[in-house]
Amino acid sequence: MIFYQNDSLQIVNADILDVGLFDEEFIDLIVTSPPYNVGIDYETHEDTMSYEEYLDFSYRWLKNCYNWSKKSARLCLNVPLDKNKGGLKPVGADITKIAQEAGWKYQSTIVWNEGNISRRTAWGSWMSASAPYVIAPVELIIVFYKEQWKKTHKGESDITRDEFMEWTNGLWTFSGESKKRIGHPAPFPRELPRRCIKLFSYVGDMVFDPFVGSGTTIIEAALHNRKAIGVDISKEYCQLAKDRIEKEVGVLV
C-alpha cells in the first residue's frame, strides 16, 4: 500500500517478501540495513528468528530486490560483521554468500568503523586465555551489482574530488545514530547513505531502500536530487519516515 508519494519520492507500507510488490526493473541503487535478527524491539517485525529462518528471509528479500533492479543496479548492504547475541555467527560472510545465491555479483566490502567501544561489555575470560572474546566495533557495507559493474550510460556525478579520494578507501569512520533522537530502534547515520548515493549513483537515479525505517536513505536521496522509494512493514515507521523527510527536506506536497 502506497503510504505517501509525490513526483520523486514514495513510501510504501508493505512486506518486502511480497514477490508481487513491484512488477518492473526500476532500481539503480539500493542502500539498506536489514533487520539483524538480534532481538531488536521493532514495531511490527519479529527480530528473533532462528538463524536458518533469518538466512531464508535474507535470501527472499535479496531475490525480490534483484528482480526489481535494472541490469546496472548496485546494492549497498549494511550488516554487522558478526554477532554474538544468541550464538556467534559470521553474519557478513553468510549474507555475502546468500546475496550471491540470489544472483547479486560481489564487488567489494567497506568496513564502517563506528568507533563504538561501549559494546565491549563481554570479555569472556578476563585476562585469561581460557575463553577470551574478541569483538570488532565495526559494521560492513557490502557492495554488489546485478549484471555489470561499469555503467554503460553517461550520467551526472556530484561527488567532489576530496570525497572521491576519501570514500574509495574502504575504511569509513563516522559515528552511529542515536535511536532516541530519531525515535527508531536501529537507524543508520545519514553519512552512510550520503556516501553510498554520491559514490555509486548518478543525479536523477532511482534509489531504493527495502527497509526504510526512519527514512534516512530517502532524505539523502532527496537532498541529492535522486528519486527514491522506501518500503517498511510498519505503518508507524512509514509515518516517522514521512515526518522526518518533511522536516529535513522540506514540506512534502
Ligand X SMILES: C[S@@+](CC[C@H](N)C(=O)[O-])C[C@H]1O[C@@H](n2cnc3c(N)ncnc32)[C@H](O)[C@@H]1O
Site for ligand X (CB under 6 A): which residue of 22, 45, 104, 238?
45
Q: How far apart are CA 41 and CA 241, in angstroms?
A: 18
Residue 216, interface with ligand X (CB under 6 A)?
Answer: yes
Which of the ranges 10-18, 99-107, 115-123, 150-158 carries the binding residues for ligand X, by CB under 6 A?
A: 10-18
Residue 44, interface with ligand X (CB under 6 A)?
Answer: yes
Query: For residues 55 and 233, which CB has a smaller minimum distance to ligand X in the complex?
Result: 233
Residue 186, interface with ligand X (CB under 6 A)?
Answer: yes
Contact assessment for residue 62 and residue 102, using Cβ atoms and an 8 Å cutoff: yes
Which of the ranges 62-70, 129-137, 162-170, 183-191 carries the binding residues for ligand X, by CB under 6 A?
A: 183-191
Q: How far apart are CA 252 and CA 242, in angstroms?
A: 8
Query: For residues 21 and 135, which CB has a smaller minimum distance to ligand X in the complex?
Result: 21
Site for ligand X (CB under 6 A): which residue of 9, 29, 35, 172?
35
Binding mask 129-168 for ligand X (x = CB under 6 A): ----------------------------------------
Residues 6+ apart with CB under 8 A from 114: 137, 138, 139, 174, 175, 176
Q: Which one, of 164, 213, 169, lies nearest residue 31 by Cα?
A: 213
Amino acid at 218: I
Could you tell me how far CA 34 lies from the centroid of its own chain? Answer: 6
Site for ligand X (CB under 6 A): which residue of 67, 72, 225, 234?
234
> Quick one: CA dihedral 215, 163, 172, 78, positive or negative?
positive
Q: Which one, of 209, 223, 110, lies nearest residue 158 by Cα?
A: 223
Query: For residues 151 and 177, which CB has a smaller minimum distance to ligand X in the complex?
Result: 177
Residue 68, interface with ligand X (CB under 6 A)?
Answer: no
Q: How far apart are CA 59 and CA 70, in angstroms?
A: 19
What residue ranges bind ligand X (CB under 6 A)? Answer: 15-17, 33, 35, 42, 44-45, 184, 186-188, 211, 213-214, 216, 231-234, 237
